[in-house]
Amino acid sequence: MFYEWKGCSLKPLRQKLLILLCAVLLWQWSGGKAMAAAPTELSRPRIGLALGGGSALGFSHIGVLQWLEEHHIPVDAVAGTSMGGLMGGLYALGMSPAEIEVFVKALDWNHIFDSSPPYNALDFRRKEDRLEYPIQEIGFRHKLIIPNGLSLYRVSLLLSRITLPYSGIASFDELPTPYRSVATDIRNSEPYVLKDGSLAEAMRATMAIPGVFTPVEREGRLLVDGGLVNNVPADVVKTMGADAVIAVDCNDNNRGRDIRGIDSVLMGSLNTVIIENTRRSLEAADVVIHPEFQNVSFMDWNKIDEFVSAGYQAAASQASALQKYALSESEWQIYQQQRAGRQRTLAAVPEAVMVKGTNELNRKAIQSQLRPFLGKPLQLDALDKVLIEISGCGLYESIRYELAFEETGTVLLITAVEKNYGPPFISFALRGTYDGSNYTALNAGFRTTAYHILGDHSELRLDFGVGSTPYLSGELYKPFANSSWFLAPNLSLEQTDGSLFSAGQWVRGYELTSGHAGVDLGYTLNKFAEVRLGYSLGFQRPETGVASDLDDLDGSVRKTELRYTFSQADEEARRSFLGTLTGSWYDKAPGAQGGFGTAETRIRWSYPVGSRDLIVGTLAAGLSFQGDLPLIQQFKLGGPLQLGSYPFQALQGDNYGLGTIGYLKYLRKLPLTRKNLYLGAFFQRGGVFEKWSAPDLSSDVSFGLVSPTVFGTLYIGTSFGKEDKGRFNFILGNLF
């Protein structure tokens, strides 16, 4: 058969060759560019959108998108950097501007960037770490290693959820709107455009602010925020085949800013780098939208309405330049239908779990915990909760999930990113106390934890402190296979201070050196509670520097102890309940006529009032059995928030009781740390006495400033008691 074409006859093979040649010439003429994901050929200009970074300022992109949609201006491709990468990614997934606004307003921006799981999700031993050593951990692998940044476990789970329907796509061109995110490869010192692979990982990488959040490892590259090299990726949109590029630059500039102090100089320098690369990138843009911000900053995450309004107004100010890209009503409806037609919904029933990025032991543990999700529709709320619980073991920087579609069925694919700086891990504490009289203590504490020292899930914990009251202790935690039972051999050596009083007057202080070696049999009830039964052999040696009646208190100590511990708190410890119940039997102790026993309970709690205030309280009591207690084993009160109008250990005896009720009134956020500052008022009633049938109680009122810090809670105040004498108090660490 022959075909007629402009008067020439061609055989089919020659016709195919000619068509191929024309296609190659057309590709060369277009520079090899292609606008993917368009189901039909467009007769209009292809419009690309470049969205810049700027932290919370990036919410202004929502307002720009709103204006574009209201005026029927299509977006055929979108690329973004940092916050622009997140906003652009949400739009590329098929969300409307209104849906994006609802989505970001529903997020808890006070906690979205938390670097560790909430307190209740932590394993019981990690709860102990958080309470006793609150300062950010570092690692030790042949040398001390500081983390690359804060982990973003919530962000990883959030991105996993919203991108899940698009698991396994070959390219981001398959999204309802073709998408690119821009990162900086600091290993090769170059920009890196993410166009395929894990969509959640791509959106996470472009947001990894260097020195703040952990980088993303991908195919040998180490990726951080793309704002360092290409903050408004107009050139990237151009390479996606856009005929016209609309760029949104929401970064604030340095002009008119009062740059004083090292923090302002550093921020101004970083801003200069971003502004300069933005100027180069914007050369590829046809229209530039620059929102103006009044009385808001890049850290105002909860002022979304103001940012959206700024973006909308900025787009409106460019109406004359943008209107030429507007579609007619019928064209707009076709565009919307085509975009909606490429959206995907999730109806996943995973048949297997696959875990990447961790060792064999942890892989099996994760698979075991996720087995209940197999063979039924995936419940994302429940999945997120379990993955946060898994993060509570303290081994992972982040965990994300997606789906893989195999011949055998749908697979729930988990990527667990282990912390690359440990184990072992080292955490820190700084503690201080001043009673306004004779007692001052300041200590730095360190805890090192190594894992799998003696079998699966075993831990070696070493604690040591330097300062006023030095100490050294260690514990080997060895759980029995596949059970909650454990053995814990332990030892300690410490030096503490004590005070001697006579008729309410301080006589002298003494230094107590003590130590023990023992073993505990324990059972972990759940993430919140543990019970232990232990036996220990030890010694004690009090010293005053002069001959004294304390010499008969020098000797060996043998003790059996049963302890129950409960620990529960919400994310900010605004609602918490922590308690211990301890029973001890001393077979031997210096100064005792025979065996004796003690029992003690200590409970502390907090409860929120309104959105910022707190009520806090404590209840503590101790009692003795079988005769008088030796001085060292007596219960003691006195010092800050332990009846603070009395000096340290001014009250000593065989039994005691103490109750506290306090109110913390929110004052303001502290600069830099953004921690709450409170005015605290506390009422205490308690005392130390010989018999519970005749308790000798007194009252105490304290006032002061309270604020959580990276070192622990800080309290500076004064206490008043029955003698109406104010006494200055200072605490750094735990208040009670």
Residues linked to residue 354 through DSSP beta bridges, in sequence order: 413
Please report, for residues 22, 175, 241, 335, the alpha-carbon distance to residue 46 in angstroms, rounded to integers and kept in the order given: 22, 16, 7, 12
146: amino acid identity, one letter: I
Instruction: Choose, from 225, 252, 520, 654, the residue flagged as catalytic.
Output: 225
Q: Is the previous residue joined to 45 through a cis bond, with omega within 30 degrees of 0?
A: no
Per the annotation, the verdict on 82 as an active-site residue is: yes
Helix axes 360-370, 380-391, angle to 10 degrees: 150
- Strands annotated E in 240-329: 244-248, 287-289
- From the list 78, 430, 382, the residue with the least C-alpha distance to 232 is 78
C-alpha dist (Å) from residue 548 to 544, 552, 553, 669: 7, 9, 10, 51
Residues 658, 684: contact at Cβ < 8 Å? yes
Is the peptide bond between 424 and the residue preceding it cis, with omega within 30 degrees of 0?
yes
Find the catalytic residue in 55, 60, 82, 536.
82
Let me know if 473 is a catalytic residue: no
What CA–CA distance (Å, rounded) separates 525 from 140?
Answer: 31
* Residue 571 contacts residue 116 (beta carbons within 8 Å): no
The whole-angstrom separation of Cα 634 and Cα 624 is 9
Q: 673 CB contacts (<8 Å, ≥6 apart)?
A: 709, 710
724: CB partners within 8 A, 6+ apart: none
Residue type, 644: G
HSE value, Cβ hemisphere, 13 Å, CA-based, for 93: 25
Cα distances from 715 to residues 347, 420, 650, 682, 731, in angstroms, run 53, 36, 21, 12, 5
Residue with tokens 């850290």: 299
Tell the burial category of 709 from Cβ atoms under 10 Å away from its Cβ (0-12, 13-18, 19+): middle
Residue linked to tokens 């959040």 = 213
Closest by Cα among 294, 256, 254, 452 to 361: 452
Q: Do 197 and 218 contact (CB within 8 A), yes or no?
A: yes
DSSP 341-399: HT---------EEEEESS-HHHHHHHHHHHGGGTTS---HHHHHHHHHHHHTTS-EEEE
Burial 378-412 (b: 16+ CB within 10 A, else e): beeeebbebbbbbbbbbbbbbbbbbbeeeeeebbb
Decide the pairing of beta strands 179-185 and 190-194: antiparallel
Coil, strand or helix: which one is 613?
Answer: strand
Whether 519 and 487 have beta carbons less than 8 Å apart is answered as: yes
Give residues with Cβ within 8 angstroms of 659, minimum separation 6. Answer: 617, 618, 619, 620, 684, 685, 686
Distance CA 125, CA 528 (A): 9
Q: Angle, nearest 10°, between helix axes 380-391 and 153-163?
A: 150
CA angle 221, 225, 229 (to 5 degrees): 90
User: What is the SS3 assignment for 295?
Assistant: coil
User: At a CB cut-off of 8 Å and minimum separation 6, what does 597 contact?
Assistant: 583, 584, 585, 586, 624, 625, 626
Annotated catalytic residues are: 82, 225
